[in-house]
Chain A
Amino acid sequence: MPFDRRAFLQQTGKLLVLTAPAAAAWDYLIAGEAEKAPGYDAAAHWWAMIIDIERCIGCGRCVQACKAENGVSLEPHYFRTWVERYQIDPDDPEHPQVDSPNGGYDGFPTATKAGVKTFFVPKLCNQCADSPCVQVCPVGATFQTPDGVVLVDKDYCLGCRYCVQACPYGCRYINPETHTADKCTLCYHRITKGLQTACVEVCPTGARYLGDLKNPNDPIHEFLRTHKVQVLKPQMATHPKTFYNGLDGAVR
């Protein structure tokens, strides 16, 4: 390409107006091919998830989608996301019954007992801002990305299982194939390409929402302002970025 005065001015103008990564991505963006734009700027995002318990119908589509998208073992007890069903008997509110047959992968059997308070609670990695699993990793194989996602470096993980014990939410497991720690990545391979996470993509009732807290125009801010949300186990001071709307006090 001949670098004449016109090209020089165009290039300089772009760099002056845009930041360097945005300038590099500009040609793809104006062509409407944002996904090809190089240099996803992790520091420009801070991902969070909203779980709206009042919308969850326990269909288990999220569990299936998560396993398919991320190649999670179909054996029981390996889940990056799963759905729990709470049943609270008013005569014994201190001891809620919680079940999650195969993580809710195949849905739930119909509850038989009448007069019981019952609801579904989807669970996944809470993407804690102050994560105990990151704290305990002896080799730096688990870490928080600049965009707030807690990831595992499977090529660096020793499989010592400290992080599995440290997670207060039970969100980690040892991958039976690689024998390293594994967990929800918030579909990092999808969200960095502008797609929704698999669980958000397939949720039929909109009970899950992926938001970017660093984007002032993201509807997540409006949602957090107008709803009474809670995080799981706030007393652990892990500062989760998974917010629950309509969370019952019985949920642990």
Chain B
Amino acid sequence: MPPFRSYEHLLRLAALFAVGAVLFLGLRSVLVPSDYGRLGPYRAGALAANQARPIVYAGQAACVDCHSDVADIRKANAHARISCETCHGPLAGHAMDPAVAAVRPDPRAVCAVCHLPSAAKPRDFKTVNFTEHAGDAACTTCHAAHAPKL
């Protein structure tokens, strides 16, 4: 058996393999984001992207910061635990800049959101047939908005 001399075949193969490896590593470094895999099999930057959303609801603490007088009125009644923005709607804009006016909620519709009768509501939840109870009158005719118990 003649000695193996055709080294150029092997060299050609090795060169092809090296080109392939360089191409793979080059493409990979371009295509895979730099922060991929830092925290797990995902882009770590996606956490910051999810956190970056602007806030729409300011949160109860921000409301009470300025409106502590209303918070004091509400302290003693059944609505004490309800957040301001449940009835008043999202007010982060107003909290950032008080010049942005907050819209006053409709004094009947806002009560109806919760207090209309429904069999699916818990037994101890207070409901009322609005028309039988008060005709077309606004709830605030008799009930104070922030201390509704008469």
Shortest beta-carbon contacts, A-B, top 6 = A153-B46, A143-B42, A189-B53, A118-B120, A202-B86, A140-B42
Tell me which residues across on chain B come within 8 A of A154, comparing CB atoms: 49
Determine how close the nearest CB of chain B comes to the CB of A59; give it in whole angstroms: 5
Question: Assuming the A-B contacts A143-B41, A156-B43, A202-B86, are A57 and B55 also in contact, with contact meaning beta carbons closer than 8 angstroms in the complex?
Answer: no
Determine how close the nearest CB of chain A comes to the CB of B105; give it in whole angstroms: 12
Determine how close the nearest CB of chain A comes to the CB of B19; give it in whole angstroms: 27
Question: Assuming the A-B contacts A57-B114, A195-B59, A204-B82, are A185 and B50 also in contact, with contact meaning beta carbons closer than 8 angstroms in the complex?
Answer: yes
Once the chains bind, are B40 and A108 in contact (CB under 8 Å)? no
Once the chains bind, are A58 and B121 in contact (CB under 8 Å)? yes
Determine how close the nearest CB of chain A comes to the CB of B129; give it in whole angstroms: 10
Determine how close the nearest CB of chain A comes to the CB of B148; give it in whole angstroms: 12
Once the chains bind, are B50 and A189 in contact (CB under 8 Å)? yes
Q: For the complex, would chain A's binding face be called helix, strand, loop or mixed by DSSP majority?
A: loop
| CB-defined A-B contacts under 8 Å, sample of 9 | A40-B51, A57-B125, A58-B121, A114-B119, A156-B43, A189-B51, A190-B55, A192-B51, A201-B59
Q: Report the Cα distance A152→B42, complex, angstroms.
A: 10
Interface flag for A42 (CB, 8 Å): yes
Once the chains bind, are A153 and B114 in contact (CB under 8 Å)? no
| B interface residues with partner A (beta carbon < 8 Å) | 33, 36, 39-43, 46-47, 49-57, 59-60, 79, 81-83, 85-86, 89-90, 113-114, 116-122, 125
Interface flag for A155 (CB, 8 Å): yes
Once the chains bind, are A140 and B36 in contact (CB under 8 Å)? yes
Tell me which residues across on chain B come within 8 A of A192, comparing CB atoms: 51
Once the chains bind, are B39 and A193 in contact (CB under 8 Å)? no
Interface flag for A146 (CB, 8 Å): yes
- Identify A55's interface contact among B90, B117, B122, CB under 8 A: B122
Q: Report the Cα distance A190→B83, complex, angstroms.
A: 16
Tell me which residues across on chain A come within 8 A of B51, comparing CB atoms: 40, 188-189, 192-193
Identify which of residues 111-161 in chain A touch chain B, using a CB-to-CB cut-off of 8 Å. 111, 114, 116, 118-120, 140-146, 151-156
Once the chains bind, are B86 and A204 in contact (CB under 8 Å)? yes
Identify which of residues 148-180 in chain A touch chain B, using a CB-to-CB cut-off of 8 Å. 151-156
Question: Assuming the A-B contacts A69-B90, A153-B42, are A201 and B122 also in contact, with contact meaning beta carbons closer than 8 angstroms in the complex?
Answer: no
| A interface residues with partner B (beta carbon < 8 Å) | 40, 42, 54-61, 65, 68-71, 85-87, 107-108, 110-111, 114, 116, 118-120, 140-146, 151-156, 185, 188-190, 192-193, 195-196, 198, 201-206
Q: Report the Cα distance A178→B19, complex, angstroms.
A: 38
- Identify A153's interface contact among B49, B52, B82, B116, CB under 8 A: B49
Q: Report the Cα distance A113→B41, complex, angstroms.
A: 52
- Identify B119's interface contact among A42, A70, A118, A193, CB under 8 A: A118
Tell me which residues across on chain B come within 8 A of A190, comparing CB atoms: 55, 57, 59
